[in-house]
Chain A
Amino acid sequence: MKKKRVLVLVMVVVFVAFGLAACASGGDAAATATEAPAADAAAEAPAADAATEAPAAEAPAADAGGSDETIVIGCTLQDMTNEFMVMLDNVMQDTVAAEFPNVEYTCLDGQAQPETQISQIEGFITKGVDAIIISPADANALIPAVQQAVDAGIPVICCSSNIEQDVGQVWCGSGNENGGKMLAEYICEEIGGKGNVVLFRGPMGHFAEIGRTTGVEEVLANYPDVNLIYDQTGNWSREEGMSLMENWLQTGEQIDGVMAENDEMALGALVAIEAAGKLGEIKVCGLDAIKDALDSVKAGVMDATVFQDSVGQAQNSVRLAVKAAQGEQVETMDIPFELVTIENVDSYYDRIA
């Protein structure tokens, strides 16, 4: 009895502490938490919302309807606990508010489950939305669902990440290959087209790792005098980037350039380079343009990083969705990566989430 009471007490304390911590963390988390269920309810109970229901019912028949009619866009994003996804949602909401007063935008939380997103898309089809925007949680699992929507005559925009197969969706994002190319191109040029470079990959088999590595390899093929002497995965992690670089520096081999497929690994490598007293001798470029990396570029430590314009991805996804819903033919849109160096770093602080 007594033991049980102690146990209950401990549990209560833990949960209360956790609850308080969650509240104290403030705005962001709370906003996401309340927003998601609200959006869910709206989607699951369409009858409750007459304004939504009326145009939705007509939509499949009147596909190329007039532009002053309400356009309904259903959106499902990978996972609303992911800050990047919350940012995409915010940008899409802002774009709708600023540019398309006649668009009704609903965003659902895919909860990182492809099954959830599949049923959400099925819901959108039943509801008869005019266009669907999706950031797929799984590049393969969602192919049939997207196909189903396209077959039902609903245009599907894949925002940021795409699905593996072309079933008639329109992709609006930045190809990882191009990011890898920009990264490798920068390092190869900086070392004068000649020398030894190393590559930190993402987790083996991760879609971004595959894309970025492909881009890097394509560029390296054009530089016969640049040797890729070490090529390993740092699993996106700063710690692993650091120990890998420490070990490579131990071999005493001349290293002229470091290509890291994300900024975390580049920052880790820089810790090792600094400890070895080789800062400035080795060119380092990351990818993603996280705030830490911008700070490092600004301080003249990291040489460059590559910026992915996720705001542009979200804005253009909405624009494409509206156009497609109005019956216009829309095409895949590749939002270009941008190279961030000490010269232009200041302008990027406002553009990252």
Chain B
Amino acid sequence: MMKIKPGSGGATMGGKATVKKIFSTYGIIVAFVVIVVVMSILSKHFLKADNLMNLIRQVSFNGMIAIGMTFVIMTGGIDLSVGSVVALAGVITASFQTTDKPEQLMMLIPAILMGLLVSAICGLANGMLITKGKLAPFIVTMGMMTIVRGIAMVYVNGRPIVNFTDAFKVVGGGYVGPIPIPVIIFAVVIVISILLLNFLTFGRHVKSVGGNEAAAKAAGLNVDGIKIKVYVLNSVLAGLAGIALASRVNAAQSIFGEGYELDAIAAAVIGGTSMSGGVGTIWGTVIGTLIIGIISNGLDLLNVSAYYQMIAKGLIILVAVLLDRKNK
């Protein structure tokens, strides 16, 4: 695996926190290694380069959302609306990139920006209702989940959008050399998020808000502003995943992304993000995303009956989190 420096954002953290972080680091890595080893013993296809690239592309969509979710959970919040944002951003961008509607064709970049803009508005609405409206994030984003899904359905009248322009097909289906473009987008998102969280003041603020909101307020931080930014960031990342996903499957549908919020939350939590806020890392979430992807990919390769897959997935998620706990 990659080299990891636990507590690389440690300038702001006390010694104790760093020690704790190292332990939680090992917990999740142990789980990850165990799962990889088991899968490669069970299936000779698992470690093939082709399959690994395939696997990383499959997880890159959930990965982008999970990274956004990590920021949100770190502020002590939650965002259930991301799955719906995936669908809405997908259908919005796709609607400007389909040859079925030549009258509203756009250049690729503006079309993508439209999708991201609408996603940002969803995030803004979440953030405003949570901070200015003083409502619980769970309730607000649950409401938004339904509203945004409904808007996506209305926008396309329930029908899928197909026949994309060649430019748009590349976003999810193209390659740079041997590397699929969604993987590159995912990598860029990882790098930027690590910068944001560990090297810029924004990350420090996110951690303080989640760690102790009252103290953050007393220290003069604009808590509401930080939270709103986090929800906007999360929605934009979900939108980006939705746009790439639509391109990848050659269709944009208002039903896309149902249940994605749960996979994203699971990835963040497996990766060591604390549901009570303040603690979390980007690389942890990336490993969490990989674990979820490997379970699914590996069980498909092994042709485990679909009935048992559901049980296995749940169990492995629980075991991974338990391992993490034991090591804390």
Measured CB to CB, the residues of A under 8 A from B are 3, 6-7, 10, 14, 18, 21-22, 25, 28-29, 83, 201, 204, 229-233, 237-239, 242-244, 246-248, 250-252, 267-268, 271, 275, 291-292, 295
Contacts and interface: CB of A to CB of B under 8 A. Distances in A.
Contacts of A7: 128-129, 132-133
Nearest to B257: A239
Given A238-B251, A243-B58, A252-B45, A28 B300 contact: no
B320 to A, nearest CB: 21
A231 to B, nearest CB: 7
A271 B57 CA distance: 14
Chain A binding surface, main DSSP class: helix
Nearest to A25: B154
A247 B52 CA distance: 10
Contacts of B165: none
A1 to B, nearest CB: 12
B128 A250 contact: no
Interface residues of B, number: 41
Contact of B157 (A10, A25, A291): A25
13 contacts: A18-B150, A21-B155, A25-B157, A83-B158, A204-B306, A204-B307, A239-B245, A239-B256, A242-B248, A250-B297, A268-B249, A275-B173, A291-B159
A200 B133 CA distance: 45
Nearest to B258: A237
B45 A250 contact: yes
A29 B250 contact: no
Contacts of B270: none
B154 A29 contact: yes
Given A18-B147, A229-B303, A252-B45, A10 B154 contact: no
A28, A231, A275 — most chain B CB neighbours (10 Å): A275
B128 A6 contact: yes
Looking at A238, A242, A244, A295, which has the most chain B CB atoms within 10 Å of its CB? A238
B222 interface: no
Interface string B125-165: 10011001110000000000001001100110111101000
B18 interface: no
A16 to B, nearest CB: 13
Contact of A271 (B54, B129, B248): B248
Contact of B251 (A14, A83, A267): A267
Contact of A250 (B54, B158, B249): B54
A250 B51 contact: yes
A206 to B, nearest CB: 12
A201 B306 contact: yes
Contacts of A244: 300
Contacts of A252: 45
B326 interface: no
By CB atoms of chain B within 10 A, which of A232, A252, A291 has the most? Answer: A232
B147 A14 contact: yes
A247 B157 contact: no
Contacts of A246: 54, 58
A267 B154 CA distance: 23
A265 to B, nearest CB: 11
Contacts of B155: 21, 25
B99 interface: no
A250 B307 contact: no
Contacts of B58: 243, 246
Given A6-B128, A251-B45, A292-B251, A18 B151 contact: yes
